[in-house]
Structure formats: structure tokens, C-alpha cells
């Protein structure tokens, strides 16, 4: 099926017949149970059916942002040691995470000032 859009009022995805969507001739259109289009409610399965089509450029852009955030979260967990921490209290944890993010940004700014753009994401410059 071809993506036909998201209907916000109905909270559904519209999937169209590929032949109709792309202007092709289909020999089995008379026997086809889905000759026009179907609507899929997003509550059917939120993991599979999303408001943004997976084959769209917008999905690629949003997914790149997600992977970027996952890299930062991984660095906080593994490199800065928050995976096995002994910090108690939300305020202390927020402070320590904020401090770690400031250190990450400071290191990136230092790499830019030293014109070491290729090492901007590394924690330690290799010798």
C-alpha cells in the first residue's frame, strides 16, 4: 500500500492502492478487496503505525535527531559513569547531568577553537 496521508481529525493513516496512487493500470482491480484506500487507526499498534510516514524525508530527519540524542545519553551513561551511580535525589542528579553536559559542550568549543574539528566528539585525543 502507498502512503496517502495522515487524517488528524480521525487520528488515522490513509493507505492507498499503489496502482491508483502512482497512476498505474492494475489487471486485478475488480477482484481486489482494497480497490481504493483504507484507513488504519493509530491505536491499532502505535509502534508500527505513526503519524509520520516511515518512508518520508520528515521521518529521516526526526530519526536522525533521535539517534543523536541516544548518542548523548550513551555518553552520559557509559563515559561519565551515570549508569552505575550512587547519587541520591533528583536535584543532585539533575545538577550532575547538567554539569556533564556543560563539560561536553566546553570540550567541543575547545576543539573548535583549536581547529580540531575532526576530534570534536572524542573525549580524549589519541596520541
Residues in the chain: 127
Cell numbers describing residue 61: 530527519
Which residue from 78, 71, 3 is spatially nearest to 63, judged by alpha carbons?
Answer: 71
The string of pLDDT tens digits covering residues 58-109 is 888 988 888 888 988 888 888 888 888 888 999 999 999 999 999 888 888 9
70 vs 77: CA distance, rounded Å:
10
- pLDDT tens, position by position, 78-88: 888 888 888 89
DSSP line for 89-114? SHHHHHHHHHHHHHHHHHHHHHHHHT
Q: Average per-residue pLDDT in the chain? A: 83
Statement: the pTM of the whole predicted model exceeds 0.75? no
Domain limits of the chain? 2-44, 67-119
Amino acid at each position: 500500500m502507498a502512503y496517502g496521508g495522515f487524517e488528524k481529525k480521525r487520528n488515522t493513516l490513509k493507505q492507498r492502492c499503489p496502482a491508483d496512487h502512482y497512476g498505474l493500470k492494475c489487471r486485478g482491480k475488480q477482484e481486489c478487496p482494497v480497490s481504493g484506500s483504507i484507513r488504519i487507526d493509530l491505536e491499532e499498534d502505535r509502534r508500527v503505525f505513526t503519524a509520520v510516514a516511515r518512508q518520508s524525508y520528515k521521518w529521516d530527519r526526526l530519526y536522525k535527531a533521535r539517534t543523536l540524542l541516544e548518542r548523548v545519553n550513551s555518553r552520559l551513561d557509559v563515559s561519565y559513569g551515570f549508569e552505575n551511580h550512587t547519587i541520591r535525589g533528583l536535584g543532585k542528579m539533575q545538577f550532575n547531568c547538567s554539569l556533564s553536559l556543560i563539560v561536553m559542550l566546553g570540550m567541543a568549543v575547545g576543539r573548535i577553537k583549536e581547529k580540531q574539528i575532526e576530534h570534536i566528539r572524542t573525549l580524549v585525543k589519541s596520541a
